[in-house]
Copies of this chain bind each other. A is one copy, B any other.
């Protein structure tokens, strides 16, 4: 069993439907970093329409806005995450990171690399 590895996936659901997983986490993080939905979509290799659809679906399920659009400015305005979105993102990252280390630890104790 020396080449065995553990993999895991974690996501949040509302009413039994997925609302936040790694893909959407990345989308929100990229919007936060770039200040732009279209730049974030481009970096993810998806269309603006698709990114927008994800945001709409999330907002509808969560019941609060995730992105604020600010009009004007040289670049034609910026998209900012709401405080709720930032908080959700931070908490999800904490949940995921804490878990990954737990999983790795538990896995190494249950499946020791050398023999047995």
* Interface, chain A (partner B; CB < 8 A): 1, 3-15, 18-19, 62, 88, 91, 94-95, 98-99, 102-103, 106-107, 110-111
Give the chain B neighbours of A103 by CB distance below 8 A. 10, 95, 99
CA A4 – CA B87 in complex, angstroms?
14
| A28, chain B: closest CB distance, angstroms | 15
Q: Are B98 and A106 in touch, CB under 8 angstroms?
A: yes
Give the chain B neighbours of A98 by CB distance below 8 A. 106
Q: Are A11 and B4 in touch, CB under 8 angstroms?
A: no
Give the chain B neighbours of A88 by CB distance below 8 A. 1
A1 to chain B: closest residue by CB: B62
CA A13 – CA B11 in complex, angstroms?
20
